Amino acid sequence: MSKIRTRFAPSPTGYLHIGSLRTALFAYLTAKSQSGQVILRIEDTDQERRVEGAVKKLVEILNWTGIEFDEGDHIGGEFGPYTQTNRLDIYERCAKKLLARGKAYRCFCSPERLTKMREDQQKRKEPPRYDRKCRDLSDEEIKKNLQAYKPFVIRQKMPKRVEVIAHDELRGDIKFNSGELEDHVLIKSSKIPTYQFASVVDDHLMEISHVVRGEEWIPSFPKNILLYKAFDWTPPKFIHMPLILNKTGGKLSKRQGDVSVEDFKAKGYLKEALINFCAHLGWHSKGDNEIFTLKELEKEFDYKKIGTSPAIFDTEKLDYLNGYYIREMEIEKLVDLCMPFLEKNLSKTTDDRRQTTEYIKKVVSIEQERLKRLDEIGELTEFFFLDKLKYDKEMLVWKKMEPSEVKPNLELIIKLLNKIPEDCWTNDSIEEGIVSYLKAKELRIGNYLWPMRVALTGRKASPGPFEVAEALGKEITLKRIKLASIK
């Protein structure tokens, strides 16, 4: 088997789009599932979209995801440089080769002429395309223009009306008519190549075997194929991944906060969940299992199993996966990851005991089951840290009880809790101490546990009263219940 090499070729925009993470992952998995290599290439030829520090940020967030590259300017490699603006001489050399072969030509048309031409085409309801005025300039004319330092672009000379067959690994042969293709620009007058040209040159010179990219590139796919033909190069295999749509079938929101991996990270999504989620945006494993580590995906992944119908971006599924990984996580690690989200709560207590790692660990472990995103931990656990709870008195009344019952019921709870020695203050013994008494007296359990739980948390929904009481400790538990009983 020949060498398998794929690439992830982002344009550095300042953040990593979640769809680009899927591209990076599929490129990585296509390589790794076949013992190949994956390279990181920076496609920064769009000068207008340049963002300072974007490449550094990109490498940082990719490192965070766990996707490792074999080559790239950040780690080196023998096919570099891997940043397109550092390869301009290479593109120039290649463009000259095409000129010499008669497969490309210099176009000296002024921007004004091109604008006028487009406007006229629009008026005539014709598709906007270059009218090929410079396609057949004589050598004399070209020489004259060059000597006059007339700016020019280099355009590809498209064959007139031939059938172009572009083979996609997932969709099979896609047929195009070259008559519909424009003599598109390969090198702009600024000497900067277009994406179409630079990516073909780079993929060839970097010996890319599989181009893994989004379906939105299919319309320009025939241009790529014709460029390979013009050079007499063998094209790599192309894998166009399906679109990613939101649940209502529309495009993913363009608002950065909804799609950037950095923001998912800031909201407390784990890299394991994001990777697993992205892996299933268009790909399905053989069996029922949907939970894979990156290492497992490397074995399991088969690019031939990527579908072609749009993948649906279902945030509920992502939350489910994130919750799953949170539940599976060692508590020490979870506490570490939660710490940045707990700082605000920690600043709310004046009690030293509630600042200790031991206390925080207990609190986090109580919420571990229901936590879906790390950033929820602050809100969920606030009551554990407050010196004084704020809630409506009415909340203490359970639906099946009279308001007048709250006070005596809480007093009974206080009496029962007082009997439990400090050194036996555990979830189980608190439960035992209360529930066995209530049962023996045939009292309605909810009439006691509801107000107790509200007294401890100040909330309608929260973890159970015994585990909360255990974490809070005997002193604070009694203090909170006493306060509630005199409310």
Q: Residues interacting with ligand GLU, by CB under 6 A?
A: 9-11, 43, 195, 199, 213
- Nearest residue (CB) to ligand GLU, 174 versus 337: 174
Question: Residue 203 or residue 376: which is nearer to ligand GLU going by CB?
Answer: 203
- At 257, the amino acid letter reads G
Q: Which of 242, 324, 327, 240 is nearest to 284 (CA)?
A: 242
Min dist CB 214 to ligand GLU, Å, is: 7
Residue whose structure tokens are 């508590």: 331
Q: Which residue has the tokens 């936590």?
A: 371
Q: Which is nearer to ligand GLU, 11 or 349 (CB)?
A: 11
Phi-psi bin for 32: left (phi > 0), alpha (psi -120 to 50), beta? alpha
Rg (CA), the chain: 32
Report which of 240, 329, 269, 265 is spatially closest to residue 22, judged by C-alpha positions. Answer: 240
Q: Which is nearer to ligand GLU, 240 or 372 (CB)?
A: 240
Q: Which of 175, 254, 390, 441 is catalytic?
A: 254
Side chain identity at 275, as an amino acid letter? I
Least distance to ligand GLU, CB of residue 240, Å: 10
Instruction: Decide: 234 and 210 in contact? Cβ < 8 Å.
Output: no
- Smallest distance, Å, CB 333 to ligand GLU? 34
**Min separation Cβ 45 and ligand GLU, Å:** 9
| Catalytic residue status for 57 | no
| Residue 6 vs 485, nearer CB to ligand GLU | 6
Least CB distance from residue 369 to ligand GLU, whole Å? 40
Q: Which is nearer to ligand GLU, 210 or 213 (CB)?
A: 213
Q: Considering the complex, what minimum distance in angstroms separates the CB of residue 69 from ligand GLU? A: 14
Q: Are strands 37-40 and 104-107 parallel, antiparallel or unpaired?
A: unpaired
Are the C-beta atoms of residues 60 and 251 closer than 8 Å to each other? no
Q: How far is the CB of 36 from ligand GLU (least distance, A)?
A: 16
Instruction: Indicate the burial class of 58 (C-beta count within 10 angstroms; 0-12, 13-18, 19 or more).
Output: buried
How far lies 280's CA from each of 4, 62, 128, 390, in Å?
Answer: 22, 18, 38, 44
Distance CA(254)–CA(198), nearest Å, equals: 26
SS3 assignment, position 317: helix
d(CA 350, CA 343): 13
Q: What angle do CA 341, 344, 349 make, to 5 degrees?
A: 130
How far is residue 177's CA from residue 370's CA, in Å, rounded to a whole number? 56
Task: Give 212 or 274: the residue with its C-beta nearer to ligand GLU.
Answer: 212
Q: Which two tokens stand for residue 113?
A: 């002429």
Give whichever of 259 and 374 is closer to ligand GLU, judged by the CB atom. Answer: 259
User: In angstroms, what CA-CA distances link 201 with 43, 233, 368?
Assistant: 12, 10, 50
Helix%, strand%, coil% for the chain, nearest 5? 50, 10, 35
- The distance of closest approach from Cβ of residue 43 to ligand GLU in the complex, given in angstroms and rounded to an integer, is 4
Q: Which residues are catalytic?
A: 254
